Structure 1
Amino acid sequence: MSSAQALEQLPPASVRIAIDALGGDHGSAVVVDGALLALDSDPLLSVLLVGPPSALRDLLDSIAATGRSVPLGRIDIVEALEGVPMGADPAAAVRARRGTSVRVAAELVQRGRADAFLSAGQTAAALAAATFVLGRLRGITRPALAVVLPALAGPVVLLDAGAGTGMTADLLVQHALAGACYAEALGIDQPRVGLLTVGGEAGKGDATRREAHELLEALPLRYVGPVEGHDLSSGRHADVVVTDGFTGNVALKALEGAVAWTAHHLGERYGDPGPARALIADISHSEFAAGMLVGVAGVSVVAHGSADAGAIAAAAALAALAARTGLVDRTGSRLAELVAARRYEMGLRT
């Protein structure tokens, strides 16, 4: 089920999204264009554009001058004069520079002025802003980046796709719970959860994954056991696949490369690259175009740095979906149940 389809099944609810207008490889014009596309498709959506006010007003004026509708009543501009500097450590910059656009966007969520924030800037900067400003949910040691893959049998949620590289069995369990909640928000009923390893049989993988396998079997999840890399693109065995951030990011980039290779060679083979390019555009302008930072105490969406306007709009729709489905509260409740169960097992009653 796509984000748009899932939204159609929800009761109407107004949502406000803070958008980092200085994030992304293509500049503020593309981000603003994407925000307007999102407003066109969702009449209950409003946005807070975070960036230099004069530059953003000039952009909106120039767009309106072309005759395009600009719903100013649903657009506010919030001042932020700088993005994360090139070459700077993203986490350090977000913490040290209060006026960075991604940090200001996260603070709007913290203060209740926005229901979610969206950035197409560096993932590390968005993660730092979300963690530093919004904080982690109880039971989460480190948030994960969850991405949705267009598998053959239906979408597959992959996490961690690059928020962190180190991994423990406990982190894998936390992320499995958070990933299942995210899949439910996307409209997947009773999602099947798999642990990415080098084989589909129990006992496969390193000591960390074997320990995680035992822990996951004891949880109130629809855990299907170990899964392999090909399950990411088939979707036949699992709806949620959990792994460490290093492995997840390598797997994601490998899949992106495979899609690009296939599209190129289809065009060469049949002399018409149009259909392959159209397929890639469809994927880029859907919920597959953005990642969700799960485990933070606020809806935080990261679009690809190379996102065009359509991909920005799709990322905004994903943020609206997460806000309307109560993703953060749902994840927090599930994690609280896990924490309580573990404390009980340890003999702690409070």
Structure 2
Amino acid sequence: MRTPEAPTVAAAYANAVISNGAAPEGDAPDPAGAGDGDARGQEDADARGQEGADVRGQQGAGVRADARVYEGGAWASSAERLPFSEVRRVWDRVLGPTEQPHTGLRIGYALQPSALHVLGHLVLTCTSLAEAAAQAVRYLPLVSEAGALRLERGARRSRLVYRPSVPEGAMHPQQVEAVVAASVTAARWIAGRRWAPAAVAFTHARIGDLAPYERILRCPVSFGAERNTVTVATPELDLVRGPGDPELAALHRAHADRLLSGLAAPVTVRQRVRGWLDQAPLDRVGPEDVQEALHLSERTLRRLLREEGTCWSDLLDAARHDRARRLLASTDRTLERIAHELGLSGAPAFVRAFTRWEGTTPGSYRRGLTAP
């Protein structure tokens, strides 16, 4: 089982992004039927006009043309999870080289419950924003282990805090904006599409104009803050919004708890690098290649590997060892050719390395595999 993105959720989310590649085409979704009776006001009309502009052109076409990449396999499996690097790859395709501002914000705005899998269904059974926040805090790992939510209650104001858990710089700021905007959208499923928090804050600098942030979130928005937060008046948080369905909620919670208990431990950076090296061409690979694939800076990669008791050269050496054994066992390639495929200078260097690894020469190892 791979981590850390849930495949059903990741696939639904990625395919929604790929198919839309854009802002919503109308009002923010109100799947709970909890509209507040003023769904067609001027403010919503303005939002439809401003946020309905499709992110098309070269970026959108490229993403939609790649949609088939995210169909089938681990993306469609309910028994596997995807590494964060795969999900980040989707975002890189969606944002494109220009990294168009407000894309993540609009994706969060257009969120549908199905994109959150069982968590989305749980939120729809909640009778208050406090109850929905509690479910999100507990079950967010079913959606993503790239970050964590925490609810901080105060007498007058409370804050939902989002903290990325991946290495610094690995998560694009627009991914954070999508999470925060999605939190506001999910609250509107319960409180009505015109609901707005008291304030929203992001740790990163503003990306593009301020107006789209204020139109979508409908509250003061600040940047360069210490934490990513959605601030809500505590009485609003606790206000009961509807009768709810306790039996259905209990069924969803039981299912979510089963899924939660089956999650694998997070994959270490060492495991991610080794997994990447297993598929890489070892004759022309360097640390800069894996840094790009895992979205880590050289300094961060070196630090994380050191904290896990290893380093790039040790992992590359182990990958060469494994690759050498496979090639000796499954092919009749010469030692010189294998040496070059491993990124070694020639057959003598390969013999020295293999003898260090196995205590015997490559030729003896190969003969032993075919001995009766």
TM-score range, shorter chain: under 0.3
Larger radius of gyration: 2
TM-score, normalised to structure 2, is 0.22
- Larger fraction in strand: 1
Of Structure 1 and Structure 2, the greater helix share is in 2
